[in-house]
Structure 1
Amino acid sequence: MEQTRYFEDYAIGEGRVTSGRTITETDFVVHAGHTGDFFPHHMDAEFMKTQPFGQRIAHGTMVFSIGVGLTASVINPAAFSYGYDRLRFVRPVFIGDTIHTRVTITGKEDDPKRAEAGRVIERTEVVNQKGEVVLAADHIYIVSRRPSA
């Protein structure tokens, strides 16, 4: 869905929650293949039985990718992603967990490089089926200001 929103249209405190996505064995295997990260923490069930979590844990980068992907339901032609700050893997995610993403606008500021745009900061939290935050990051958008009439 396309929805043009300018810098002035964003309000601090507004947010949304995505639909859920259950993490599968296939997700682990595909992500390991894409990244080359075959660490035993993600791929060796027997090894992980001897570790504190007792089972394989999802790649943090996979949880980040899926969590961000869940938010990609609205296309705003007046905005683009500038990147992410303060990325943290707060809790482990396991096969069978269902995650969704909650985003909240937490800041707006001038863009020092572009007078015609501002920066919108969106707190991104990936949440598991227990309501626990498993990943948190600040997503920074560059958003065009409303054109002068």
Structure 2
Amino acid sequence: MKKLLLIFFLAFTVSHVNSTPLRPVNEDQLTTLIDSFSVALVKKDKVWMQANLNDGCKMYDPTGSTLNKSSIIMAFTQGIYSISKSEALNRSIKINGTQADASADLKVEGFGNINGNEMDITGTYRFNLKFVLVESNWQISEITINQ
């Protein structure tokens, strides 16, 4: 009787585990990366940005400027943008091998020093992100910010 119960228990456990849909690991990694990016903006985290922005990363901002990796890091850590709160909402991710496209609405509070004028940049911005897989780690390769 114990063996029969054990067999039923194992069969139920295996069938339950197999019927539970699993999210792809890469999608979870990219979701975490998007959320971490949002946090890094608030913390002005140069180390995070250095590690997670691809060397060829470009950012296209709403003012029409194009920034390279070092300029992106400077913009978010040394005063062009001063973000006090940031939250990633409505994330969508599409993976194609070693590349991925994602978008998220970033709800931010803060100020920007645009052309020498301090401006309130509080609002929700659409971030379109491109990622590249480098040595089993995803990195941000492009950021396009739309209002």
TM-score, normalising length: structure 1: 0.28
**Bigger fraction of residues in helix:** 2
If asked which structure has higher relative contact order (CA below 8 Å, sep 6+), I would say 1
Q: Which structure has the larger Rg?
A: 2
